[in-house]
Structures are given as C-alpha cells and as structure tokens.
Amino acid sequence: MEQLTQIAQHFKDSPVQMIRAGVWKPRTKPGSFEGLGEEALKYLQEVKRISGKAVCTEVANSDQVELALKYGIDCLWIGARSSVNPFTVQEIADAVQGTKIPIMIKNPINPDVELWTGAIQRIQKAGIEQIAAIHRGFSSFDSSSIYRNKPIWAIPIELKRRFEHIPIYCDISHICGKRSLLQSMAQRAMDLNFDGLMIESHPNPDEALSDAKQQITPDELISLLSQLQIREMVQDNDTLEQIDYMRQIMDSVDAEIVELLSRRNELGLQLGDLKSKNNMSIYQPKRWNEIVESRTDWGKKASLDKKFVFDIFQNIHEHSIKLQIEQMQAAENLKQKK
C-alpha cells in the first residue's frame, strides 16, 4: 500500500490520466509474485481517492470481473495471455454484459490481427461502447532483437484501419523490456499517431517484484512525457494540397508496382510449367542465392536498405514457389484423373 500511495501522490497533479495496477498478475511459472488479489482492490480505492485519477486493473475470468466491479474499479483491461484465447475473452464478455465499464484489450502474445479483432468484437457484442486497444508488442524467439516484445507496427496500424473510432494506446514498457529504450519508443508511438501511452512506474524500480528492468520512477515518467513532441494536424490548405498531390503520385507508383508483381507471377507460373514438364525441383537454391546477391546489390546502388530489399524479394520468391507448387499439384491431380 505504501508503494501505491507514493504513486498516487506523485501523479495527482500530472498529465497522467489513469493509474493501473495488476491486482492479479498472471506469471509464466508458479512461485513468482502473482498479485495480492481482492485485498489490493481496496488499495486501488485509496489510490483513486488520493490521486483523483481513474483506476484500472487486469481481469482474466468472470470472478475477477465481479470483484473489480464490486470495488468500483473504473476500467478493466484484458491481457495478452487472455486475448489470445477466445474462450477467456468470451467469459469476460459475458461477465461485463449489461454494464458500462470501459474495457482495454491488449494484443495477443502472437502477431495475429484476427485474434485481436475477434477479442474486440466479442466485447462489442456484449454491449460495451467504451473500448480501447493496447499495443504491447509480440513474443518472439529472436534473441537478436533489442526489444522484449517486437513492435511489428503493421499489426496495430491494420487494427486502426479496421476500427477507426477505437483509440489505440502503446504499452511501451512491455515492448522495450528495459528503461533505456522507453523515450525513443514513446516518441515513435506518438509519431505513428497512437492515442496514448501505457508506462510502468515504481518508486524504486530495481526493487519491483516483477518486470523491474522496464520500470521508471514517477519523476522519470513525468520527464519522459514532457520531452515528447506531439505532431500537429496540418490545417494549412497549401500544405494539404501538396500532400494530396504527392499521395496521388505515390498511388500511381503503387499501381505500377502491383502490375509488375502480377507480371512476375505470370512469369513464375510459366517457369513452374517448364520445371514440371522437365521433372525439375521447384526450389533451386543456387538461383535463390543469385537473386539475393543481385537484388540487394541493385538496392545498394539505388540507396535502399539491404534488409528492406531482401525482405521484399524473399516474400516475392516464397510466393512464387507457393504458386509453382500449387500449379504442379494441380497438374499431377489432372494426370491421375485421366
């Protein structure tokens, strides 16, 4: 309680709009600190009284929802370990039906926009009107990443396209995993037009019972917020006209790219037909190595990032292989029918 009291007092007159705390803390392995449960809900009531801020906690089943509502919690969030499971989300949706409690939904632990979409739709069908999404990054086995959870920005951007009126907040603490990356990640989220940030704070971060490396003090959090540059929406007509003109040019270039990709697919299918008739394997490692070397070299000469070019042609190559395999299988099936 002492820790939460300090937090409440620090953020009383700050830009922070809501204070969240994990009353129930799901952990990967048993034996770790998993929260104080119902007792901590009383602490959140006191935090609300001292700070004057709304309070929020995570729920993972109907019993937890019932208790949170009983203690007057202002907002609930569904964690990444819960949003990955439609059964869990549906249980929570059933429990909040008939209430007006706002719900925030974190992305699933794996990069699946459909699961995230489904979780939002289940809560919508329960009649909840105040819904927000939280981007906290995605689990990965890639040990080379500097982040705890990979941001993969394309997924929250796609979610925003599907749900234009639902705010999306960025949980920079869980993405970064270490406090040294928080400032730059916060600015990146703002530059991508996120609606807000979720940041973990602790009076003595190194003594935190969970996720200590990614937490910062209340003073550091307020300093971080003060350094953010919030981009203004352009209102100048001349600038808007220039942007619209540039976008039209980009649209025409994109149309050319799509036409070229279609042409390349056609050539790939012709190549696949030749391979099939001559009983050749679809995947030719030597040819793929030649593609990697030549295309990245072309990219370098055009001042394009090597990885950017590699990723593009890897996707193109994989898709071409897929089409050729399907073509070969269709030809084999036709032979068998004859």
> What pTM does this model have?
0.74
Per cent of the chain over pLDDT 90 is 67
Domain span at residue 254 reads 237-337
User: For the chain, what percentages of helix, strand and coil (3-state, to nearest 5) are there?
Assistant: 55, 10, 35
Can you tell me whether residue 196 is helix, strand or coil? strand
Q: Judge if 215 and 253 occupy the same domain.
A: no
* Distance between CA atoms of residues 145 and 151, nearest Å: 10
Higher pLDDT, 264 or 1: 264
Domain count, the chain: 2
* Distance between CA atoms of residues 248 and 108, nearest Å: 36
Residue type, 182: L
Beta strands of 3-155 (E only): which ranges? Answer: 18-20, 54-58, 75-78, 103-106, 131-135
- CATH code of the domain containing 67: 3.20.20.70
Domain endpoint, select from 203, 227, 251 = 227
Q: Judge if 176 and 47 occupy the same domain.
A: yes
Q: Judge if 215 and 243 occupy the same domain.
A: no
pLDDT value at 233 more than 70: no
Per cent of the chain over pLDDT 70 is 99
- Tokens representing residue 270 in the block: 């012709």
Q: What is the pLDDT of residues 111-159, one digit of tens each?
A: 999 999 999 999 999 999 999 999 999 988 877 789 999 998 989 999 9
* Distance between CA atoms of residues 261 and 269, nearest Å: 12
Q: Judge if 331 and 191 occupy the same domain.
A: no
* Distance between CA atoms of residues 260 and 177, nearest Å: 41
* Element of type H or E holding 183: helix 182-191
- Tokens representing residue 166 in the block: 């639902």
* Element of type H or E holding 326: helix 306-337
Write the DSSP symbol of residue 179: G
Q: What is the pLDDT of residues 85-118, one digit of tens each?
A: 999 999 999 999 999 999 999 999 999 999 999 9
217-238 mean pLDDT: 85
Q: For position 117, what pLDDT does the model report?
A: 97
- CATH code of the domain containing 279: 1.20.59.10
pLDDT value at 222 more than 90: yes
Q: Report yes or no: 56 and 14 within 8 Å, Cβ to Cβ.
A: no
* Element of type H or E holding 171: strand 168-171
Overall residue count recorded for the chain in this entry: 338
* Distance between CA atoms of residues 194 and 186, nearest Å: 10
Q: Judge if 13 and 57 occupy the same domain.
A: yes
Question: pLDDT confidence of 338, banded at 50, 70, 90?
Answer: low
Write the DSSP symbol of residue 197: E
Q: Judge if 138 and 99 occupy the same domain.
A: yes
